[in-house]
Structure 1
């Protein structure tokens, strides 16, 4: 004689549903361009809070492998040589020249409530920008950016936050580069004529 066991609720549980967490998608829409002068080809230049100070003229550049700080910001933050640590790798500029650097420093960079520690290489070179934040900063923040929309978007507590670039600041930086180049060329040609 065999005994068959009838299924009960306990012995045949319902399949559990997978827990689905819905996260907002980081994307850019046509509305993101509102407020920009079209057409344009401006760099993405923002203001960030670095070491507790609001720092203007920071370039967001995904193509850069390291974050850069220029002398104006280094001096403006009252940093000293003893604050720097050694940086042993050579840096090469876009024109292929080796860039002289003073060392590196780790500083907090804040956007709204999000804070990311960033290793800046302090370089001794002219730039209309005070600093450049690059891939490391973007990845640590979990951000995406669009030069077309002049915005950086990132998630903060499951909400999409955005950092808006300044088109006028980007254009001022471009004019500063052109004027600096003209001064350098004028100085070089004056020296060559002697």
Structure 2
């Protein structure tokens, strides 16, 4: 489990395309809830008991981001710096964040900053605040409880 101290209540926005006249801001709207279900056909090739991590693709900043780990034990959403750069962002796009993350290694890890971006899962989009860290990982993003419960 990786967790961080609570972040401030400030909301920052990011303009994704130069052609947009205003930055994207969170919108309060009702959303439809649907059911996701699985049956035995989904278990083809899976060895039981199942202990594999849940890894998905998500859409953000005009790109499909592969190798996104869903981690229910995490309280923060994490973006690795390599992914941040490949999405077309620069260090100047980061907002300061001085809360340490714990459990990446034996010492507290301080993020380079934070950025809020819309993330699409299927047809639903929500704004997600990512802590950007300069570490190596098999994953591009790690989505935690906050995002999972909002979806």
Q: TM-score if structure 1 supplies the norm length?
A: 0.56
Residues 49, 31 of structure 1: alpha-carbon distance in 2 compared, 3 angstrom cutoff = same
Cα distance per residue 1:87-127 (max 9 Å; x no partner)? 12111124442113110000111012100100000001111
Match of 1:74 in 2: 84
User: Is it true that 1:38 corresponds to 2:47 in the alignment?
Assistant: yes
Match of 2:19 in 1: none
For residues 27 and 110 of structure 1, the distance between their equivalents in structure 2, rounded to whole angstroms, comes to 16
How many residue pairs end up in the alignment?
119
Q: Which has the higher helix share?
A: 1
Structure 1 stretches lacking a partner, 5+ long? 1-22, 142-194
Relative contact order: is structure 1 or structure 2 higher (C-alpha 8 Å, sep ≥ 6)?
2
Match among 89, 93, 101 for residue 103 of structure 2: 93
Alpha-carbon RMSD: 2.1
User: Is it true that 1:140 corresponds to 2:150 in the alignment?
Assistant: yes
Contact between 1:46 and 1:60, CA under 8 Å: does it hold in 2?
A: yes
Contact between 1:65 and 1:134, CA under 8 Å: does it hold in 2?
A: yes
Match among 120, 124, 145 for residue 110 of structure 1: 120
| Aligned-partner SS, 2:82 | helix
Residues 29, 49 of structure 1: alpha-carbon distance in 2 compared, 3 angstrom cutoff = closer
Structure 2 stretches lacking a partner, 5+ long? 1-31
Q: TM-score if structure 2 supplies the norm length?
A: 0.70
Q: Which of the two has higher C-alpha Rg?
A: 1
